[in-house]
Amino acid sequence: MRLKRKDILTIEDLDRDEIGLILSTAESFKEVSDREIKKVPTLRGRTIINLFYEASTRTRTSFEIAAKRMSADAINISASSSSVVKGETLKDTAKNLEAMNPDCIVLRHPSSGTPQILSRLLRCSVINAGDGAHEHPSQALLDLLTVKQRFGKINGLKVAIVGDIAHSRVARSNIYGFIKLGARVSVAGPPTMMPSGIDKMGCGVCYNVEDAILDADVIMMLRIQLERQNGCLFPTAREYSRLFGLDSKKLEKAKKDVVILHPGPINRGIEISSDVADGEYSLILNQVKNGVAVRMALFYLLLGGSRE
């Protein structure tokens, strides 16, 4: 079973059946990571390049572990050590890497749309591991898998996404994904963090977190990019936390079987309080665990397997 596409660039591109196939494939790969010998020979002799133009522990490590558990060879390239310092264009870097016959390039890049550019240039597969404020499809897929495992379905659920919607590739990918699978999505955040035209994506908009979580089955808290924040989007971290951060008091109004997601890394005490992040409703670590399975599934469905 393979996807009838070469690349995973966005959730917007994928249809319901493709997402379903990825999630069920990921489900079947989950047990590999629970084995003593966490490895299948499926992608032996394939070359996967992690080309990261932004720092990342979690995502790069998750893709690297996924590749190795599929028995592929994983090569890491980070911008700081790359030809980027020598002023080479992304196109040239990509064409040069392709000449070394990789099967897949996993790209993280600060500019939106770069995975699309690579996809058109290259014969090998491209997986978008986050491009600017555009999309982060493998994150949305692992979020969908996490929610589906808990509720047995996505259809009919109510999802609240809270935080800096305008600058979040995680939010965009999840809005597309949850709506495609039949959930209703509301987004909440301060007006400065709400993109214009967000309602055209098919989701509701709230300007306070209490309304958003009131009848939500899933609350997804986004990371506040403190390091990118320069005083424009909200007055202080404390102010943001008081109004939009999720703590146990705000959570009292939520449904009794609500689940809480966060793409990590979390800012404890800012967008989420420690007791909530570590509490009974939190699925944050399930998300990370599912990330490896989803990435194994993407490699499998794009690259196929020789003897499966």
CB of 197 within 8 A of CB of 137?
A: no
User: Looking at 70-78, 149-157, 170-178, 241-249, which segment touches a copy of itself (CB under 8 A)?
Assistant: 70-78
**Using the rule CB under 8 A, which residue among 6, 78, 150, 255 binds a copy of itself?**
78
Residue 54 CA to residue 78 CA, distance in Å, equals: 8
- For residue 222, give the nearest of 174, 288, 151 by alpha carbon: 174
Residue 228 CA to residue 68 CA, distance in Å, equals: 33
Going residue by residue from 187 to 226, which x/- string records binding to a copy of itself, judged by CB under 8 A? ---------------------------------------x
Assess 280 for contact with a copy of itself (CB under 8 A). no
- For residue 217, give the nearest of 171, 159, 271 by alpha carbon: 159
Assess 110 for contact with a copy of itself (CB under 8 A). no
Identity of the residue, 97 or 171, whose beta carbon is nearer to a copy of itself in the bound complex:
97
**Using the rule CB under 8 A, which residue among 1, 2, 28, 89 binds a copy of itself?**
89
State the minimum distance, in angstroms, from the CB of residue 118 to a copy of itself: 15
**Using the rule CB under 8 A, which residue among 118, 266, 272, 297 binds a copy of itself?**
266
Assess 77 for contact with a copy of itself (CB under 8 A). yes
- Determine the length of the chain: 308
The per-residue DSSP string of 132-161 comes to TTTB-HHHHHHHHHHHHHHHS--TT-EEEE
**Using the rule CB under 8 A, which residue among 2, 16, 28, 96 binds a copy of itself?**
96
Identity of the residue, 141 or 198, whose beta carbon is nearer to a copy of itself in the bound complex:
141
- For residue 288, give the nearest of 184, 159, 121, 138 by alpha carbon: 138
Assess 229 for contact with a copy of itself (CB under 8 A). no
Q: Please report the sign of the dihedral spanned by the C-alpha atoms of residue 267, residue 273, residue 278, residue 279.
A: negative
**Using the rule CB under 8 A, which residue among 4, 37, 231, 280 binds a copy of itself?**
37
Write down the number of H helices and E strands in the chain: 11, 9
- For residue 170, give the nearest of 129, 226, 117 by alpha carbon: 129
Binding site for a copy of itself (CB under 8 A): 33-39, 44-47, 49, 55-58, 60-62, 64-65, 68-69, 73, 75, 77-78, 80-89, 92-93, 95-102, 226-227, 264-268, 285-286, 288-289, 291-292, 306
